[in-house]
């Protein structure tokens, strides 16, 4: 089993090279048989006929010397005289077998096309087959006697050096290609190994392990994406630890208060006023715990990527009016001038989740406003959106607080939020985003705050 990328890459490359070699042989063989073989036969027929024409027309004085000279210039020759005398010139044939009927046919004036009709070689190597049957045969007459000449180029003499050069070249190309493939494989595999090691570091919460991959190709893009993912995981891990720390602290404080005042209530010498006071504190802390638990459950639900808001049509204007009535007693207690302009709007969304928004922003506007302040609530409907705005003339907040206002457990004014959880606005933001909307919060210290929520009509 090949389990490493390098071994798979090497095997695939080797198979591709072998496959390419086989395909090259196949197409070369086809080209030889279909394109080269017949013209090569015809060319050698012309050469043979030129030889015998010279013999017959130029009155060669010594036939043996003439054929010896031709053999030395690069031809293999087989000459048969009508009396049966056989003579070889030039290079030696590997196979000297030749049918007697073939010789008789040439003697009678027929041209023998052995190169064209040579059938036995699978590949183009048939061109190099050093056999007597792989020749051209032509008749000629010398000094009144009939002869048959069988000839072919001496391929060994002409091409042996070329073959060695080509063989060395092919071997060098193969070796260089293999080295190139190995180098290329390493340029791909080494970064992947680094990514694998970095992944193991992250699995052990080591987010600071260096990843030195500087490339501009897809591997480089993967490395950059990995670095961004690592940064995000580190940030999420820090947020998780901070979240757990904050939750533990926010649970521990009211629990300690409840435990302490419950112990005090067990004392027999308390007055009725003291018992009522301690009981009221326990009730406040219990409500605080209940609120914190509910908000954590809401956050857990919103954090789930699979949690989608319900899309049901409901009366948004009525929901806002009911929310204002719910806080009427606080408005009157602090002598706040509260006005609202609420257009009749039917909205398709999750009424339960949206109620968290209205409770939070209206309660905050009241909490962070001095007695006699002014608060205005408006609900408008456009062609594509529903816009809810809450504007107050309260204490406002600093730029530093404004930048962190949507962080979980962040409290802008500790003196006013001792019973708060710091989870309200983060919940608001997530509910708005779940509805594909936007929230804009502007504030100036000492001048007030404006919260604008835009929800698209889907």
**Number of domains the chain contains:** 3
Residue 297 placed within a domain: yes
Distance of CA 135 to the CA centre of its chain: 61
Percent of the chain surpassing pLDDT 90: 28
pLDDT band at 311 (very low <50, low <70, confident <90, very high): confident
pLDDT over threshold 70, residue 13 = yes
The edge-to-edge listing of strands for the beta sheet with 145-153 is 86-89, 75-81, 145-153, 136-142, 112-113
pLDDT over threshold 60, residue 366 = yes
Burial class (CB in 10 A: 0-12, 13-18, 19+), 49: middle
Work out the number of other CB atoms within 10 angstroms of the CB of residue 316: 24
CATH number of the domain where residue 253 is located: 1.10.287.130
Closest CA to 298 of 254, 249, 349, 354: 354
pLDDT band at 121 (very low <50, low <70, confident <90, very high): low
Residue 224 placed within a domain: no
Q: Are residues 62 and 119 in the same domain?
A: yes
pLDDT value, residue 418: 45
Residue-wise pLDDT tens digits, 242-280: 667 666 766 776 788 888 888 888 888 888 888 888 888
Q: Are residues 256 and 339 in the same domain?
A: no
Residue 230 placed within a domain: no
Q: Are residues 151 and 38 in the same domain?
A: yes
Domain that holds residue 291: 238-301
pLDDT over threshold 80, residue 423 = no
Residue 20 placed within a domain: yes
The bridge status of strand 136-142 relative to strand 145-153 is antiparallel
CATH number of the domain where residue 60 is located: 3.30.450
Question: In the predicted model, what is the mean pLDDT of the chain?
Answer: 81
Q: Are residues 290 and 314 in the same domain?
A: no
Q: Are residues 146 and 131 in the same domain?
A: yes
Distance of CA 52 to the CA centre of its chain: 72
Residue 376 placed within a domain: yes
DSSP 33: I
pLDDT value, residue 161: 47
Q: Are residues 282 and 424 in the same domain?
A: no
pLDDT value, residue 260: 85
**Average pLDDT in the 132-155 region?**
90
Burial class (CB in 10 A: 0-12, 13-18, 19+), 153: buried
CA dist list (Å): 318 to 247, 342, 379 = 35, 9, 11
Q: Are residues 244 and 391 in the same domain?
A: no
Q: Which residues of 161-200 are buried (b: 16+ CB within 10 A; e: fewer)?
A: eeeeeeeeeeeeeeeeeeeebeeebeeeeebeebbeebee
Q: Are residues 49 and 151 in the same domain?
A: yes
Residue 334 placed within a domain: yes
pLDDT over threshold 80, residue 412 = no
Q: Are residues 244 and 327 in the same domain?
A: no
Q: Which residues pair with 87 in a beta bridge?
A: 79
Residue-wise pLDDT tens digits, 203-243: 877 777 777 777 767 777 777 887 888 888 877 777 677 66
Residue 443 placed within a domain: yes
Identify the residue whose tokens are 């391929």: 155
pLDDT over threshold 70, residue 41 = yes
Q: Are residues 297 and 315 in the same domain?
A: no
CATH number of the domain where residue 382 is located: 3.30.565.10
Percent of the chain surpassing pLDDT 70: 82
Residue 172 placed within a domain: no
pLDDT value, residue 193: 80
Q: Which of 131, 160, 189 is the last residue of a domain?
A: 160
How many CA atoms are closer than 13 Å to the CA of 30, on its beta-carbon side? 6
**Average pLDDT in the 434-438 region?**
91
Q: Which of 160, 180, 206 is the last residue of a domain?
A: 160
Which residues make Cβ contacts (< 8 Å) with residue 32, sequence separation at least 6? 123, 124, 126, 127
Q: Are residues 113 and 150 in the same domain?
A: yes
DSSP 95: B
Q: Which of 301, 323, 344 is the last residue of a domain?
A: 301
pLDDT over threshold 60, residue 158 = no
Q: Are residues 295 and 331 in the same domain?
A: no
**Average pLDDT in the 55-74 region?**
87
CA dist list (Å): 157 to 68, 94, 130, 163 = 15, 14, 11, 11
Least confident range from 86-90, 330-334, 364-368, 419-423: namely 419-423
- 3-state DSSP assignment of residue 440: strand
pLDDT over threshold 70, residue 364 = yes
pLDDT value, residue 439: 93
């Amino acid at each position: 089993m090949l389990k490493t990328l390098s071994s798979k890459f090497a095997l695939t490359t080797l198979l591709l090279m072998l496959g390419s070699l086989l395909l090259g042989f196949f197409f070369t063989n086809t080209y030889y048989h279909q394109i080269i073989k017949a013209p090569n036969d015809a060319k050698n027929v012309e050469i043979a006929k030129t030889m015998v024409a010279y013999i017959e027309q130029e009155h060669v004085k010594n036939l043996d010397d003439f054929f010896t000279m031709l053999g030395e210039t690069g031809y293999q020759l087989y000459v048969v005289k009508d009396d049966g005398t056989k003579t070889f010139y030039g290079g030696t044939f590997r196979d000297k077998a030749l049918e007697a009927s073939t010789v008789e046919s040439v003697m009678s004036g027929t041209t023998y096309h052995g190169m064209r009709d040579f059938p036995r070689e699978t590949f183009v190597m048939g061109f190099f087959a050093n056999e007597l049957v792989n020749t051209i045969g032509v008749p000629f007459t010398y000094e009144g006697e009939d002869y048959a000449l069988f000839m072919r180029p001496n391929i060994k003499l002409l091409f042996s050096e070329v073959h060695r050069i080509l063989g060395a070249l092919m071997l060098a190309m193969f070796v260089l290609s293999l080295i190139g493939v190995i180098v290329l494989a390493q340029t791909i595999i080494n970064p992947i190994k680094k990514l694998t090691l970095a992944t193991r570091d992250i699995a052990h919460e080591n987010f600071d392990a260096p990843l030195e991959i500087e490339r501009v190709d897809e591997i480089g893009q993967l490395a950059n994406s990995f670095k961004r993912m690592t940064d995000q995981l580190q940030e999420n891990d820090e947020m998780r630890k901070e979240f757990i720390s904050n939750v533990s602290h926010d649970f521990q404080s009211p629990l300690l208060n409840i435990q302490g005042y419950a112990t005090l209530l067990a004392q027999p010498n308390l007055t009725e006023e003291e018992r009522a006071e301690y009981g009221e504190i326990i009730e406040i802390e219990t409500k605080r715990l209940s609120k914190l638990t509910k908000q954590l459950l809401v956050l857990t639900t919103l954090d789930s990527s699979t949690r989608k808001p319900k899309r049901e049509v409901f009366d948004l204007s009525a929901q806002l009016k009911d929310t204002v009535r719910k806080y009427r007693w606080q408005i009157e207690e602090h002598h706040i001038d509260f006005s609202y302009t609420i257009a009749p709007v039917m909205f398709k969304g999750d009424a339960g989740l949206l109620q968290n928004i209205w409770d939070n922003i209206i309660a905050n506007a009241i909490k962070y406003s001095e007695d006699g302040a002014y608060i205005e609530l408006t609900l408008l409907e456009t062609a594509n959106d529903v816009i809810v705005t809450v504007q107050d003339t309260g204490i406002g907040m600093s730029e530093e607080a404004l930048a962190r206002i949507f962080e979980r457990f962040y409290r802008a004014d500790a003196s006013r939020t001792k019973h708060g959880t710091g989870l309200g606005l983060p919940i608001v933001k997530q509910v708005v985003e779940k509805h594909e909307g936007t929230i804009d919060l502007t504030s100036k210290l000492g001048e007030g705050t404006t919260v604008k929520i835009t929800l698209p009509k889907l």
